[in-house]
């Protein structure tokens, strides 16, 4: 029965088909030739359920009860009474003939109502959306696309799933001056009603074990009731969407500001309509089969038109690394509970996460500048020096394509600590919702990025990403950065952690630098940033949201290229290439040893000179020995900065 019920909201059929499928499935269950014991059990279960439902829905009229009383909508026993009552109350408020609602405004095709007798703020928005009901439901339930119609949303995460119809979500919303950020832990349930309409409703989860509270940094508020009633029209070309919400906000937001916020929330129906109209990926999809080398048939999504944002170019030799980095970015950004809030400065919130001996840092802040300008500032390695004063040199070593490059960053030495440098693979792309992402990770390529040890220690950038989410006007963006670095060498964990904790505030310094730029208007005049490939590819990546070679095909191509290299190594030309590579590595090693001997001699001369200077100064014996020991430690650290081998996962 549940299979038929689930199918009713996935097939592109008409409303009558849905009702017919539900009625047929119900009659099959009731008329099946069951043994007496099984029939008695089902009868007892149905009877007890009806008695329980009658008690829960005693406050609503019979017409509402008939609508919500449908089989297949599974609710966990612990939440059954509460959710059944909530669904009935929501439907009663969402109906066109519901009493107690006063029309507040009518604009942009949405009527906004305010509940007159509600102690808490309660609003309703009603409007028509010219989209298939299935598409509307998909957008409402899909967490990753919620920001397209909920602009105040800062982060979202699905923390627990009970079944296909019930789960728990965690939402974090932007701060509203003078109050802090606010978060909600919502218990969500959806079902198809008896008349073919769809209801998706949520309320606060009273179990605090799902997500730990981060008060006072982030205030925990309660959603008393919120959701959508989606009623298809007769020919299934559109829906009448009704949005109802009732929220209990804690102190910190003025009453007039709360009222204004609630009125704006009524127009979520309009934002939902715009998000569906702008989503090209929903309107241009088709299934197509493809044969692999073994003759197995595989079905994959292939776009039949080029989307507005285009496709990103991914170099085959680094395809696997890049796609893994993009997937990791999604995981890190969705894993909200593992990050610890450490501070808020200049409008940027900083978080850290300890992972073994390393500390990852995350920053979140809004920059009121054109997203293309923000991207330009982040993607240019040379401009990084303007916002990171410890950076001595930033440059692009090699441009692989319009989306991918190999960058070099060298950081200054500080007292007894040697400088650090990084050789990073950097890739950027634009997602279908205009979000811009940049991912980076260390790689080893001694040919274009030779070591400078022992003067400069080669660090390891485990992972870094930047997510730029433009606002609706495309004149500002919410920026999130994550950095996880192994500085290598002899650096105490406390100092490394302090360095990591400063990384999030690069966002604020980035805003100051952008503000001083004189070419803001020229860059903004170029319009929205897009990808650079405008030719339909053969396959579609399911992970990135943009069409490009899939991960499996990239891995296959990488392995094939390695096999070709192996075959070449067996030929004379291949042997020559390998020999030349080995010779270059040996030459680099000899050069490194020569540099080391020269450095030792230089440091010995410097140490001897320092000791002679001490002899000319009259110091107490104890102080003299302390200074000598400090000098020895200083030159020891200069000579032995520590291992800088890049981890094998990057080779």
**From the first residue on, what is the mean pLDDT of each consecutive set of 10 residues in the chain (651 residues)?**
43 48 50 44 44 54 78 84 90 86 87 74 89 91 84 82 88 74 89 91 84 79 90 91 81 57 79 82 42 40 60 89 91 85 90 83 94 93 86 91 94 80 95 92 91 88 94 92 86 71 89 91 90 66 40 40 38 40 45 52 71 71 78 66 41 39
The β-bridge partners of 222 are 248
Determine the Cα–Cα distance for residues 474 and 123; give it in Å rounded to an integer: 28
What is the per-residue pLDDT for 66? 79
String of DSSP letters for 49-92: HHHHHHHHTTTS-HHHHHHH--TT----GGGHHHHHHHHHHHHH
Specify the pLDDT at position 41.
Answer: 38
Residue 434 three-state SS: coil
CATH class, range 316-535 = alpha beta
Distance between terminal CA atoms of the chain? 52
- Residue 183, CA distances (Å) to 49, 82, 215, 333, 584 in order: 35, 22, 10, 16, 56
Contacts of 512 (CB under 8 A, 6+ apart): none
Q: Assess contact for 306 and 534: CB atoms under 8 A.
A: yes
394 strand-pairing partners: 409
Centre a 10 Å sphere on the Cβ of residue 292 and count the other Cβ atoms it contains.
11
CATH code 3.30.530.20 region(s) in the chain: 58-280, 316-535
pLDDT at 584: 46
CATH code given to domain 58-280: 3.30.530.20
DSSP string, 309-375: T-B----GGGHHHHHHHHHHHHHHHH-GGGPEEEEEETTEEEEEEEETTEEEEEEEEEE-S-HHHHH
Residue identified by tokens 């080995």 is 582
SS3 (DSSP) at 487: coil
* Contact (CB, 8 A) for 438 and 466: yes
Q: Which residues contact 323 (CB under 8 A, 6 or more apart)?
A: 314, 541, 543, 544, 551, 554
Q: Where are the beta strands (DSSP E) in 82-152?
A: 101-107, 110-115, 121-129
Measured CA to CA in angstroms, residue 578 lies from 40, 263, 451 at distances of: 78, 69, 21
How many whole angstroms separate alpha carbon 89 and alpha carbon 75?
16
Q: What span, in angstroms and rounded, lies between the C-alpha atoms of 147 and 15?
A: 29
Q: Which residue stretches of 105-205 are H helix?
A: 133-141
Q: What is the largest CA-CA distance in the chain?
A: 109
Helix (H, G, I), strand (E, B) or coil at 518: coil
CB 122 within 8 A of CB 243: no
Evaluate whether 446 touches 340 at the Cβ level (below 8 Å): no
Phi and psi at residue 591, in whole multiples of 5°? -60, -40
Cβ neighbours, 10 Å, residue 549: 19
pLDDT score, position 620: 78
DSSP annotation of 3: H
Cβ burial, residue 599 (10 Å; 0-12/13-18/19+): middle
Bridge partners, residue 172, by sequence: 155, 183
Alpha-carbon span 71 to 192, nearest angstrom: 10
pTM of the model: 0.44
Quick check: helix, strand or coil at residue 94?
Answer: helix
Residue 609: how many other CB atoms lie within 10 Å: 10
* Per-residue pLDDT at 557: 40
């Amino acid at each position: 029965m549940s299979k038929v019920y689930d199918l009713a909201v996935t097939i592109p059929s008409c409303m009558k088909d849905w009702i017919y499928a539900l009625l047929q499935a119900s009659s099959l269950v009731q008329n099946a030739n069951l043994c007496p014991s099984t029939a008695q059990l089902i009868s007892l279960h149905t009877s007890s359920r009806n008695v329980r439902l009658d008690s829960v829905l005693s406050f609503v009229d019979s017409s509402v009860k008939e609508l919500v009383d449908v089989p297949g909508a599974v609710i966990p026993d612990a939440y059954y009474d509460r959710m059944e009552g909530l669904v009935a109350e929501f439907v009663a408020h969402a109906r066109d003939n519901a009493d107690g609602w006063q029309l507040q405004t009518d604009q942009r095709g949405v009527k906004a109502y305010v509940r007159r007798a509600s102690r808490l703020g309660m609003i309703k928005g009603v409007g028509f959306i010219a989209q298939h009901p299935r598409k509307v439901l998909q957008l409402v339930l899909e967490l990753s696309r919620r920001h397209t119609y909920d602009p105040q949303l800062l982060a979202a995460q699905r923390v627990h799933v009970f079944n296909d119809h019930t789960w728990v979500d965690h939402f974090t919303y932007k701060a509203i001056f003078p109050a802090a950020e606010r978060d909600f832990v919502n218990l969500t349930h959806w079902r198809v009603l008896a008349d073919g309409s769809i209801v998706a409703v949520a309320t606060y989860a009273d179990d605090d074990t799902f997500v730990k509270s981060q008060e006072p940094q982030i205030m925990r508020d309660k959603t008393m009731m919120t959701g959508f009633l989606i009623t298809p029209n007769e020919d299934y070309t559109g829906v009448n969407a009704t949005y109802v919400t009732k929220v209990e906000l804690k102190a910190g937001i003025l009453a007039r500001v709360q009222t204004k916020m609630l009125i704006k929330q009524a127009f979520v129906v309009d934002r939902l309509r715009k998000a569906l109209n702008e989503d090209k990926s929903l309107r241009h999809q088709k299934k197509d089969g493809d044969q692999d080398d073994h003759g197995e048939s595989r079905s994959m999504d292939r776009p039949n038109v080029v989307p507005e944002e285009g496709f990103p170019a991914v170099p085959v030799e680094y395809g696997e690394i890049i796609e893994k980095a993009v997937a990791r970015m999604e995981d890190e950004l969705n894993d909200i509970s593992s990050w610890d809030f450490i501070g808020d400065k200049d409008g940027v919130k900083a978080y850290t996460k300890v992972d073994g001996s390393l500390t990852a840092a995350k920053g979140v802040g809004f920059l009121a500048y054109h997203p293309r300008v923000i991207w330009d500032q982040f993607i240019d390695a040379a401009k990084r020096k303007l916002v990171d004063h410890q950076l001595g040199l930033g440059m692009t070593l090699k441009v692989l394509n319009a989306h991918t490059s190999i960058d070099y960053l060298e950081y200054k030495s500080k007292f007894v600590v040697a400088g650090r440098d990084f050789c990073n693979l950097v890739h950027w792309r634009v997602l279908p919702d205009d979000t811009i992402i940049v991912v980076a990770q260390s790689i080893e390529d001694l040919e274009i990025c030779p070591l400078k040890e022992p003067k400069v220690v080669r660090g390891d950038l485990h992972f870094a990403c930047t997510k730029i989410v433009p606002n609706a006007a495309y004149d500002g963006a919410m920026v999130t950065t994550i950095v996880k670095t192994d500085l290598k060498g002899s650096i105490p964990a406390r100092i490394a952690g302090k360095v990591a904790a400063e990384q999030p505030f690069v966002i604020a310094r980035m805003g100051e630098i952008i503000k001083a730029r004189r070419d803001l208007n020229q860059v903004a005049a170029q319009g929205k940033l897009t990808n650079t490939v405008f030719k339909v590819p053969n396959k579609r990546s399911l992970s990135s949201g943009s069409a490009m070679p899939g991960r499996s095909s990239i891995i296959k191509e990488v392995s094939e290229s390695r096999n070709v290299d192996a075959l070449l190594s067996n030929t004379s030309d291949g042997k020559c290439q390998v020999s030349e590579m080995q010779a270059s590595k040996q030459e680099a090693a000899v050069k490194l040893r020569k540099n080391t001997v020269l450095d030792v001699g230089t440091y010995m001369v410097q140490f001897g000179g320092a000791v002679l200077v001490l002899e000319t100064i009259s110091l107490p014996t104890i102080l003299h020995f302390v200074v000598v020991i400090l000098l020895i430690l200083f030159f020891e650290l200069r000579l032995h900065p520590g291992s800088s081998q890049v981890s094998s996962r990057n080779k």
